[in-house]
Amino acid sequence: MLIKRKLGWEIPESQVTPQAVFLNRRSLIAGLAGVALAGAGTPALADADPSQGLYPAKLNSTYKDAGRAITDEQYNVNYNNFYEFGTSKGIAAEAEKLRIRPWEIAVDGEVDKPFTIGIDDLLKKVALEERIYRHRCVEAWSMVVPWSGFPLKSLVELAKPKTDAKYVRFETFNDPEMASGQQPGLFGTMPWPYIEGLTMAEAMHDLAFVVTGAYGKPVAKSMGAPIRIHLPWKYGFKSIKSIVKVSFVKERPIGMWEQLQASEYGFWANVNPAVPHPRWSQASEQVLGTGERIPTQIYNGYGEFVASLYTGLESEKLYM
């Protein structure tokens, strides 16, 4: 039996503006029924995770302070968007079904030599660090997370892309047997796998981060184990989880959200409070775990670092 228990920090579904709304009203109903946060707790993180000894990683002093309190781990692990495991925020228990070993990442496209690498071998080739980043979901909620991982640039350098590679395309697993959200649902099937993309310049930017840990340990399954990215100046849907493929391509990738609804989820998706989403304002955000509503900042406050990436692109839809 599912009992919908109200937790103090939980944003009532009636106050959020879910990305899933356009799918069908029925998806909302299914989402409500799926909010089973009560008792989920912090999922017991695989004592078996062979990467556990790598954490906590050393804090990078450039990103040691996000200007706001770190969001409590409990909220982060139990309030997620991970549609592979369902459309509600309460997918943490279901996401425990994610099998994170063996985990292989294919690197292909316009590279010197395509290869596949296991997550633990990849972790041996990079230097892990901790960074405290703000995260802003397009649904107008936000959080602050102590991520661990390595600059995306390091992965690009391992891949050795050719000069004609213009974009990086990321892909999540597609395994409907493991991930119930990938099965045909009440509202049809979403166009799996989850895909997202960046320009090479964005991928090489120091802020672009590959996440393998959070809160001083391997990243929780609900947050995209064993490897995701985080792009703190963009809306959250760009920060793809549980990556199995990284491709260097010539054409601009079309993300899964863009494929679903191009008018609402564009390629650039840089945070801008002055540009409303077609269905809601982006002027402010609800800070998870605090009950607080604060103004949203352009580029989520990272403009001094990233604004120059977009000079000359003013005619593009940079903020949706």
Ligand X SMILES: Nc1nc2c(c(=O)[nH]1)N[C@H]1C(S)=C(S)[C@@H](COP(=O)(O)O)O[C@H]1N2
> Which of residues 124 and 191 has its CB atom nearest to ligand X in the complex?
191
- Lookup: tokens for 272: 């801008």
Which own/partner pairs from 275-283 qualify as long-range (CB within 8 Å, at least 24 positions apart)?
A: 275/319, 275/320, 277/17, 277/138, 277/320, 279/17, 279/21, 280/17, 280/140, 281/140, 282/138, 282/140
Whole-angstrom Cα Rg for the chain:
18
> Which of residues 76 and 81 has its CB atom nearest to Mo ion in the complex?
81
- To Mo ion, the closest distance from the beta carbon of 217 in angstroms equals 23
**Amino acid letter at 289?**
G
- To Mo ion, the closest distance from the beta carbon of 231 in angstroms equals 12
Binding mask 69-88 for Mo ion (x = CB under 5 A): ------------x-------
SS3 226: coil
CB-based contacts of 311, cutoff 8 Å, min separation 6: none
Measure the CA–CA gap between 41 and 12, rounded to whole angstroms: 19
Beta-bridged to residue 188, according to DSSP, are: 185
**Can you give the binding site for ligand X, defined by CB under 6 A?**
19, 80-84, 137, 172, 194, 223-224, 236-237, 239-242
137 near Mo ion (CB under 5 A): yes
Judge whether 32 and 87 are in contact, CB under 8 Å: no
237 near Mo ion (CB under 5 A): yes
- To ligand X, the closest distance from the beta carbon of 173 in angstroms equals 8
Choose from Mo ion, ligand X, none: what does 240 bind? Cβ within 5-8 Å by kind.
Answer: ligand X
> Which of residues 136 and 205 has its CB atom nearest to ligand X in the complex?
136
Q: Which residues of 48-66 are buried (b: 16+ CB within 10 A; e: fewer)?
A: ebebeebbebeeeeebeeb
Which residue, judged by CB position, is nearest to ligand X in the bound state?
A: 236
Choose from Mo ion, ligand X, none: what does 172 bind? Cβ within 5-8 Å by kind.
Answer: ligand X
> Which of residues 135 and 245 has its CB atom nearest to Mo ion in the complex?
135
- To ligand X, the closest distance from the beta carbon of 58 in angstroms equals 22
- To Mo ion, the closest distance from the beta carbon of 101 in angstroms equals 27
Measure the CA–CA gap between 10 and 19, rounded to whole angstroms: 17
236 near Mo ion (CB under 5 A): yes
> Which of residues 93 and 138 has its CB atom nearest to Mo ion in the complex?
138
Judge whether 33 and 65 are in contact, CB under 8 Å: no
> Which of residues 230 and 245 has its CB atom nearest to Mo ion in the complex?
230
DSSP conformation class of 219: P
DSSP conformation class of 15: G
- To ligand X, the closest distance from the beta carbon of 163 in angstroms equals 29
- To ligand X, the closest distance from the beta carbon of 90 in angstroms equals 11
What residues make contact with Mo ion under the rule CB under 5 A?
81, 137-138, 236-237
